[in-house]
Chains A and B, each alone.
Chain A
């Protein structure tokens, strides 16, 4: 009986195919493709390329408050450490690539712009004791880039409006009014990201996730994951953990330590190599 029903269904399916001519198939496929295309367009996230342009504007805004260091030697060193870690992340290739830069500010802070520009302040550079700790700070910021935490700070309503302008059929030839609206949305989006990374901070879950992800990048790179713990512990002991800068926008350091304690690998990194890197850090930084 069951076999009979299956056979009948199969015959019904085949006969329906046999009676539809190619013109009809073409028409149906066209409609399906158009509907799927419209749905995909309506839901599409910000592309990597668009994220890159938001990130550049965010970087420009940060640079209007924090002076960029002109120390080329330090720029090279920070980029070597940052590039090494970023190449071990889950998204080593972003539209514009990763770039690391030093800001001349005593404030202890680091910022990840969408797309891959990462800033670290002189205050932060002075607060880390080893290359592995520097790598830990940069790994945390790279995790924010990978998880698109900056982009997620953009209000959903803004992006929905942007998609409506960009994706409409008229988008192929939109005029000055639509373009001006798009620039307004871009400006609002940049404001959203800057406000989040400089003033309000990401959500606690985003910070905890960035810490845990940083441990993975450090392990993959062969940096010592305990460096993140060591750095955080020292800031608690030194009484820095309740100050401004990084501590204004991040969860309590004690909570961050609690968050990562179970994720630290039982075996540490090669001590001899870690010491060698610590020596390299001192000769590059001091």
Chain B
């Protein structure tokens, strides 16, 4: 009996302690980003990332995470990802969950390109091509690196 209780207790601890089964993953939440060699911006890029890419978080602090993406290890800024703890897999009753934020996003709901298109149709006077041109305008990382260095500014 004692043995049974102890086993049941251990089973409870096993299932109800999130730390036991959890693994840290993170999803890229920016349109584009990069896994970098060192934990600083403008460091060489090891992998290009896009929205929704999944990373395994190895370690990190408030600003930077050491992460793995498709067998490549590198750094990504914490503001570029949303952490996700995977735990207690399979315990939730299948099909019982409401739409999560991710599901909604994946289903293309919310304020999204379709909503923007409808808004554009209602406001033909607004020129979104100019907005696109502002977003497409890029300065290279090399240019920015030189600009910062020549100005005696801090490398981010």
Interface residues of A (CB under 8 A from B): 11, 13-15, 17-18, 25-27, 29-31, 33-34, 37-38, 40-41, 44, 46-50, 53-54, 56-57, 59-61, 63-64, 68, 75-76, 79-80, 83-84, 87-88, 90-97, 99, 101, 117, 131, 162, 166-169, 171-172, 174, 179-180, 182-183, 186-187, 189-190, 220-223, 270, 272-273, 276-277, 280
Contact = CB atoms under 8 A, between A and B. Distances in A.
A270 B111 contact: no
Given A14-B5, A49-B29, A92-B41, 4 more contacts: A31-B96, A34-B96, A46-B111, A94-B79
Given A25-B15, A27-B93, A183 B119 contact: yes
B126 A61 contact: yes
Contact of B79 (A49, A76, A92): A92
Contacts of A26: 91-93
Contacts of A27: 93
A92 B81 CA distance: 12
B70 interface: no
B131 to A, nearest CB: 5
B125 interface: yes
Interface in B70-126: 77, 79-80, 88, 91-94, 96-101, 103-105, 107, 109-116, 118-119, 122-123, 125-126
Contacts of B5: 11, 14-15, 18
B57 to A, nearest CB: 16
Nearest to A99: B134
B41 A183 contact: no
B9 interface: yes
A76 B80 CA distance: 24
Chain B CB count within 10 A is highest, among A84, A101, A270, for A84
The 5 closest A-B pairs by CB, nearest first: A30-B93, A273-B152, A18-B8, A87-B156, A93-B80
Nearest to A118: B134
A276 B151 contact: yes
A27 to B, nearest CB: 6
B116 A17 contact: no
A189 B130 CA distance: 21
A61 B109 CA distance: 23
B3 to A, nearest CB: 11
B97 A96 contact: no
Given A167-B98, A167-B99, A84 B153 contact: yes
A95 B30 contact: yes
A40 B104 CA distance: 13
B125 to A, nearest CB: 6
Given A75-B137, A171-B104, A93 B152 contact: no
Contacts of A183: 115, 118-119, 122
B154 A64 contact: no
Contacts of A33: 92-93, 96-97
A60 B96 CA distance: 41
Nearest to A50: B111
A68 to B, nearest CB: 5
Given A56-B116, A84-B153, A95-B30, A172 B99 contact: yes
